Structure 1
Amino acid sequence: MNTTNTLPIYQVDAFAYQQFKGNPAAVCLLGEWLEDELLQNIAAENNLSETAFIVTKEGAYSIRWFTPTTEVDLCGHATMAAAHVLFEHLQYNQSKILFNSPRSGVLEVTKEANDRLTLNFPAQKIEMIPPSQKLDTALGTAVHGTYKSSDDIMIVVGSENEVRHLTPNLTALGQLPYRGIIVTAKGDTVDFVSRFFGPAVGIEEDPVTGSAHTKLIPYWAKKLGKDTLHAQQLSARGGDLYCQLQGDRVLISGRAVTYMKGEIFIR
């Protein structure tokens, strides 16, 4: 006889002031960790850029993130979505939540008075690397600087207009040995803009990428000579991020909106 268990699941638009903007993430609440294969299957079924899984034990929250094809080390928008679910739907009554990630350590989310949620993440180091003709060709635009982190590559181009109108060769980008390709430039009306492509991990283009800003914020803070920054990600859905560099940490703020609440049936 087959038995069926149900798991609560939410879908939240993160870095958004209204539904259908920002970056949608699924948030799945667990009593204990399930097999990795099942977690991956749930994320693939959701078919969103990330699904966050949370386990609560003795008042502490553990978090992991999966794309449709793989587990990732860090995800900003899905962490914001997870905090939103705890604050708005599970009556978490303190102003700060600490998530423990087995891959990225302790991650802090604070609920501000203006309904913004602020992520406190470790800043990521980047190093300049030589230009690549293969990368220039895949992006279809002139590259002004190429930087590498542990999992992503960051490309600086000449203008916001170039970032906005990029039509890269996603097949070629997916063959590069990186989680994602961040393309960025100084903004016209904000401090900087970006887009994020991750075909190697099953995401052609991510709408708003909090983890990418752990590299972008230190770069632009140094470049512009300021620690408080306003950023926009120029995907079709779009998103605003309010950023601050604090030593070896970055603060990334935005809002989140619930789209859906449901149940997963596990047989």
Structure 2
Amino acid sequence: MPEVIYQVDAFTAIPFKGNPAGVFISEKPRDDDWMRQLAREMNLSETAFLVPAEKYKDGYSLRWFTPTVEVDLCGHATLASAHILWQEGFLPRDQEARFQTRSGLLTARFCEGGWIALNFPVKKVEPALAPDGLLEGLKIASARYIGLNKMDYLVELDNEEQVRSLQPDHSALRKVQVRGVMVTARASSSEFDFVSRFFAPGSGIDEDPVTGSSHTALTPYWSAKLGKKEMTACQASARGGVLKVVDLGERVELRGQAVTIFKAELLNSR
């Protein structure tokens, strides 16, 4: 059987918006070095690798690689994976997609209007001091709040315009000991509840277009501040993306759309 890889724009219904991810589905696991090389060849923020997990009914083993490292959690590549499973007939649309990952069991279900609902564990932040060089790398003098979870820092600014106009010094950020930093603010318009951007120097990514994993922290954070369980979020990168998020307590639901850009056959792979 030919080996096929897909490229999907996630957290958008518009081609060339949202966050592109590679999706590779194979019957048997490939070795880590091969997956790293294919992710580097795709040169996207994430490439997802799926293998049917025999001990889990209708489930898949799912791993995510950037061009440089394997990561513990990735929202947009999980969304892209679920989209391909349903679109290409690996699963019927009325069947839940189940993924065994380094972050435990993740699930996805197909919703009305082509939206996909992901169920992820919460990654709450706690108040923290900024590490040396973080504010300087972001080129900001101060922040309303700084927090940290097991993966990333959260920095709240005063308003949406500050988030959108931010122009970090990426070379300086790469010297800071962080996987990533989410910069966020309350939205200025009624269209969204909050906005954010995500920079991932520790994963070799200057700015991620739309980041599902960051919203596992942003959702409970803004739910507590705004007194709302269901919210609409905008990630204000150059490509941009929209998420509908729900605070479920110890879990969060992240809803997004996806569109396939291409599928390609691998002609030379070992």
Distance of 1:70 and 1:258 partners within structure 2: 24
Q: What is the CA distance between 1:63 and its match in structure 2?
A: 0.2
Structure 1 equivalent of residue 123 of structure 2: 124
* Structure-1 separation of matches of 2:199 and 2:130: 18
Q: Is the 8 A contact 2:5 2:265 kept in 1?
A: yes
Q: In 1, are the aligned partners of 2:178 and 2:201 still within 8 Å (CA)?
A: no
Query: Aligned to 1:162, what secondary structure does the other structure show?
Result: helix
TM-score calculated relative to the size of structure 1: 0.95
CA distance in 1, matches of 2:170, 2:177: 13
Instruction: Tell me which residue corresponds to 2:173.
Output: 173
C-alpha separation in 2, matches of 1:171 and 1:92 = 43
- AA of the residue aligned to 1:201: S
Secondary structure of 1:266 counterpart? coil
Cα offset for 1:150?
Answer: 0.7
- Structure 1 residue ranges, 4+ long, deviating more than 3 angstroms after superposition: none
Could you tell me how far apart the structure 1 residues matched to 2:110 and 2:59 are?
17
Bigger Cα displacement from structure 2, 20-29 vs 126-135 = 126-135
Matching of residues 15-94 of structure 1 within 5 Å: 15-58=11-54, 59-93=58-92, 94=94
TM-score by length of 2: 0.94
How far has the Cα of 1:95 moved from its partner? 3.5
The answer to whether the Cα contact below 8 Å between 1:154 and 1:184 also exists between their aligned partners in 2 is yes
Shift of 1:37: 0.7
2-side partners of 1:125 and 1:57: how far apart? Answer: 29
Aligned residues of 1:95 and 1:112 also touching (Cα < 8 A): no
Counterpart-to-counterpart distance in 2, 1:255 and 1:84: 8
CA offsets, 1:99-133, max 9 Å, x none?
A: 111x1010010100221001100011211012456
Partner of 1:198: 200
Question: Are 2:8 and 1:9 equivalent residues in the alignment?
Answer: no
Q: Distance in 2 between matches of 1:153 and 1:131?
A: 8
Q: What corresponds to 1:261 in structure 2?
A: 263
How far, CA to CA, are the matches of 1:40 and 1:68 in structure 2?
7
Taking the aligned partners of 2:217 and 2:27, their CA distance within structure 1 comes to 33
Matched AA of 1:36: D
Q: Specify the code of the residue in structure 2 equivalent to 1:172.
A: A
Q: How many Å separate the matches in 1 of 2:129 and 2:44? A: 33
User: Percent sequence identity over matched residues?
Assistant: 45
Matches of 2:90 and 2:68, distance apart in 1: 32
1:84 Cα deviation (Å)?
0.4
Q: 1:217-254 CA deviation, whole Å, 9 max, x = no partner?
A: 00000011111111000000000000000110000101
Q: Secondary structure in 2 aligned to 1:188?
A: coil
Shift in Å at residue 177 of structure 1?
A: 2.0
Per-residue deviation, residues 20-55 of structure 1 (Å, max 9, x unmatched):
010000000111211111110100110000000000
Q: 1:230 and 1:129 mapped to 2: Cα distance?
A: 26
- Report the secondary structure of 1:84's partner residue: helix
